Amino acid sequence: MNFGELFSLKGKTALVTGAAYGIGFAIAEALASAGAEIAFCCRSSEHLKKALEDYSAKGISARGFICDVTDESAVANMVGKIGRIDILVNNAGIIKRIPMTDMSAEDFKEVIDTDLTAPFIVSKAVIQGMIERGGGKIINVCSMMSELGRETVSAYASAKGGLKMLTKNIASEYGRYNVQCNGIGPGYIATPQTAPLREPRPDGTKHPFDSFIISKTPAGRWGAPEDLYGAAVFLASRASDFVNGQILYVDGGILAYIGRQPD
C-alpha cells in the first residue's frame, strides 16, 4: 500500500454545498489540497462572487453555482452541469434560535428543509452516478445537536438528529455499491453562524454563551473551520473505505465532558 495515495483525492470531483465561507469553505479547501476538483453552491450571488475570489486567492479554481439546495429541480440542474461527482459534502445549513413555544411551524419547517430534506435531495441526485462509477463518498455535516439539545434550537436539533440517521440509512442502503456515507459532527466553531453567540456585549464584556462554551469544552477554546480539515480528507479518501454510517465528532471533547467541576 502506497500510504501517500491513501489520502489522495487526485482525479476526484467534490461538491460541497453552502461552501461560500465558514465550515464548507474550509472543507472544500482541504479537499482541494488533497487533489480534488471543487464545485460548490450557495444562494447569494454576492457570496458566490466573494467566494470565487477567496478560492482563487488560495490557488483553487472552484466552480461555483447559485443553487438553493432545498429546490430539487435547481439541484438536479446543478448536478447535471457538474457531471461526475465522486464526493458530496452536505454542508449547507441554517439555524433559527427561537424558543419552541414561540416558533412558527413555518420557521421549523424551513430549518428542517435546509438541514435535513436538502441533504436527502442532493444525496438522491448524486447516488445513481456514484453507483454507475463503482462507488462514492457522502459526508453529512451533522452537529453536537445530533446528540444533545439545548434551549431555542428545537428545529435545528431535530434536523441534525435526523441527519445522523439519514447518514446511517444511506450507509445501510448503498454500502453494497461501495458508497460510504459518514458524518462530521463539529462542536462549537467560530463562523458567521455562531457569531451571535460569541460577540462581546455592548459594554465590552464577554458574551455569557462564549464563557459557557469555553467551560464545557476540554480544549478550552472555540473550534476553527480549519480544525475540520483532517476529518474531511479522511472521510473523502480511500482511507475510510471501510468506514460507513459513522459520525466523526470534531468538538474539542465537549460531548465527552460534563463540564468544569467547581473549584
- Name the catalytic one among 55, 156, 174, 249: 156
Interaction between residue 202 and ligand NAP (CB under 6 A) = no
Binding residues among 78-97 for ligand GCO as defined by CB under 6 A: 95, 97
Assess contact for 123 and 139: CB atoms under 8 A. no
Least spacing, CB of residue 246 vs ligand NAP, in Å = 16
Least spacing, CB of residue 100 vs ligand GCO, in Å = 14
Sequence letter at residue 238 = R
Q: How far, in Å, CA of 117 to CA of 67, rounded? A: 15
Binding residues among 130-159 for ligand NAP as defined by CB under 6 A: 141, 143
Minimum CB distance to ligand GCO smaller for 65 or for 188: 188
Q: How far, in Å, CA of 130 to CA of 84, rounded? A: 8
Q: How far, in Å, CA of 90 to CA of 123, rounded? A: 8
Least spacing, CB of residue 67 vs ligand NAP, in Å = 6
Which whole-number Å values give the CA distances from 217 to 11, 189, 223, in the listed order? 38, 11, 10
Interaction between residue 33 and ligand GCO (CB under 6 A) = no
Q: Is 257 a catalytic residue?
A: no
Assess contact for 42 and 51: CB atoms under 8 A. yes
Helix (H) or strand (E) holding 141: strand 136-141
Interaction between residue 228 and ligand GCO (CB under 6 A) = no
Interaction between residue 158 and ligand GCO (CB under 6 A) = no
Count the Cβ atoms, other than its own, within 10 Å of residue 241. Answer: 12
Least spacing, CB of residue 254 vs ligand NAP, in Å = 11
Q: How far, in Å, CA of 123 to CA of 119, rounded? A: 6
Q: In the block, which residue shows the cell 501517500?
A: 4
Helices (H), ranges, 96-207: 105-112, 118-132, 154-174, 195-198
Q: Site for ligand NAP (CB under 6 A): which residue of 22, 64, 162, 183?
A: 22
Q: Site for ligand NAP (CB under 6 A): which residue of 194, 217, 240, 244?
A: 194
Interaction between residue 153 and ligand GCO (CB under 6 A) = yes
Sole window of 12-20, 102-110, 167-175, 184-192 interacting with ligand GCO (rule: CB under 6 A)? 184-192
Assess contact for 125 and 79: CB atoms under 8 A. yes
Q: Site for ligand NAP (CB under 6 A): which residue of 13, 91, 167, 217?
A: 91
Cα-Cα-Cα-Cα torsion 119, 125, 130, 135, nearest 10 degrees, comes to: 30
Minimum CB distance to ligand NAP smaller for 143 or for 244: 143
Interaction between residue 207 and ligand NAP (CB under 6 A) = no
Count the Cβ atoms, other than its own, within 10 Å of residue 239. Answer: 15
Interaction between residue 47 and ligand NAP (CB under 6 A) = yes
The residue ranges that bind ligand NAP (CB under 6 A) are 17-18, 20-24, 41-44, 47, 68-70, 91-94, 114, 141, 143, 186, 188-189, 191-194
- Which residues have a catalytic role annotated? 156
